[in-house]
Amino acid sequence: MDSTKWISKKIALLGNHAVGKTSLISRFVENKFPEGYLTTIGLKVDKKTISVDGYNIDLVIWDIAGQENLANIPHYYLNGCSGYIYVVDLTRPSTYENLRSQTLLLKGILPEAEALLAGNKRDLLNEEELKIILEDFNIQPDELTSAKTGENVEELFLQLARKLIHQHESQGT
Amino acid sequence: MSLKEHKYQLLNRYHQIIIFDLEGKLLDSCNSMIDLKQLPNQNVFDQWPVLESVRPALHQLEDLEVPFRLPAVELSLPELKGIFDFEFSIHPEYPEQIVWLLIDQTRIYRYFRRIQQERNMLLLEKEYRETGRSIKVSSALDT
């Protein structure tokens, strides 16, 4: 008998405009990289089922239009969110210079949610530039990703899925 | 064509009413934009991930005085593409049924998108100039 358990979790990708939220989802769900930038209006929802640690987990992924201030996101967009990925564009300081306040705000809105920080557009920086940015701005992304090359994209979502499974098991639901 | 018929046709082009129960079973649809009865899965929660993830809110509709709205949802189904507003309310006669009003707002949101895209592109280019990065930003608008 198959002992694989099925769970479904809503997650959201958040962050400033043009950090690559839609591209990360597109790379993860369809293994495609959209050529050119197209701003997201409102929201787009995708779904992907992955198998990890004895679970089949349906990730229902909400791609929410980029916001400089997360307080502007309607709360019902985030209701029921079990986890989120906050995405920054490593090449643009404006997307991470207010990271601390945005993280605190999110913790207030979604106190129980699992969170990851993704430093995207890794492919646009060399090792030295990357080191300087991470040190100067004191940011510690959980994954350094490139939606363009696919680097660490799968790993990013897998890491969140594992956290969600842990959350699920500790809640006993 | 009478004015009433003309108005009806216009409404029909951009609006669809769908009725389902609390378990997601499709009960009725006017099918003016998408023929839901042709879809292989007749459970709206399985068919539409966005609905699946607002399921708890739909179960609390009775407690709301106004319909639950989900504006600007981008759909890219083979049968239906565009940007839509979703509105959910309890059926006036059958409280165990949910009335889903699907409104095609693609024309309006495309206009907003154009404005937003221009603003975002300008901000991106400005920031790249200020940080001395020679990164070219190409727009995918209308391609």
Question: Could you read off the pLDDT tens digit of each residue along chain A, which spans 173 residues?
Answer: 567 899 999 999 999 999 999 999 999 999 999 988 999 999 999 999 999 999 999 999 999 998 877 888 887 889 899 999 999 999 999 999 889 999 999 999 999 999 999 999 999 999 999 999 999 999 999 999 999 999 999 999 999 999 999 999 998 75
- Whether the CB-CB separation of A113 and A62 falls below 8 Å is answered with no
- Whether the CB-CB separation of B66 and B56 falls below 8 Å is answered with no
The answer for residues whose C-beta is within 8 angstroms of residue B93's C-beta and 6 or more apart is: none
ipTM of the complex: 0.87
pTM for the full model? Answer: 0.92
Nearest to A38 among B72, B128, B140 (CB): B140
Q: Would you tell me how many other CB atoms lie within 10 Å of the CB of residue B120? A: 19
Question: Cβ B117–A60 below 8 Å, yes or no?
Answer: no
What is the chain A residue with the closest CA to B141?
Answer: A38
How much is the pLDDT for A118? 98
How much is the pLDDT for A106? 92
**In whole angstroms, what is the distance from residue B4 CA to residue A69 CA?**
45
Q: What stretches of A11-150 show up as alpha helix (H) in DSSP?
A: 21-30, 75-78, 99-109, 127-136
How much is the pLDDT for A67? 82
* Measured CA distances, A159 to A15, A54, A117, B106 (Å): 19, 15, 11, 35
How much is the pLDDT for B138? 84
Question: Cβ A34–B140 below 8 Å, yes or no?
Answer: yes
pLDDT digits (tens, 9 = 90+) for B84-127: 999 999 999 999 999 999 999 999 999 999 999 999 999 999 99
What is the chain B residue with the closest CA to A79?
Answer: B54
Structure tokens at A36: 């050119």
What is the chain A residue with the closest CA to B51?
Answer: A45
* Measured CA distances, A148 to A20, B16, B123 (Å): 9, 38, 21
Rg (C-alpha) for chain A, rounded Å, is 16
- The residue among A55, A44, A23 whose CA lies nearest residue A158 is A55
> Which residues of A lie inside 8 Å of B (Cβ-Cβ)?
8, 10, 17-18, 34-47, 60, 62, 65-66, 76, 79-80, 91-94, 124
Nearest to B138 among A17, A36, A46 (CB): A36
* CA A77-A80-A82 angle, 5° bins: 110
- The residue among B40, B43, B62, B61 whose CA lies nearest residue B52 is B43
Question: Cβ B120–A17 below 8 Å, yes or no?
Answer: yes
Length of chain A: 173
Q: Would you tell me how many other CB atoms lie within 10 Å of the CB of residue A17? A: 22
How much is the pLDDT for A173? 55
How much is the pLDDT for A169? 93
The answer for residues whose C-beta is within 8 angstroms of residue A148's C-beta and 6 or more apart is: A23, A33, A121, A123
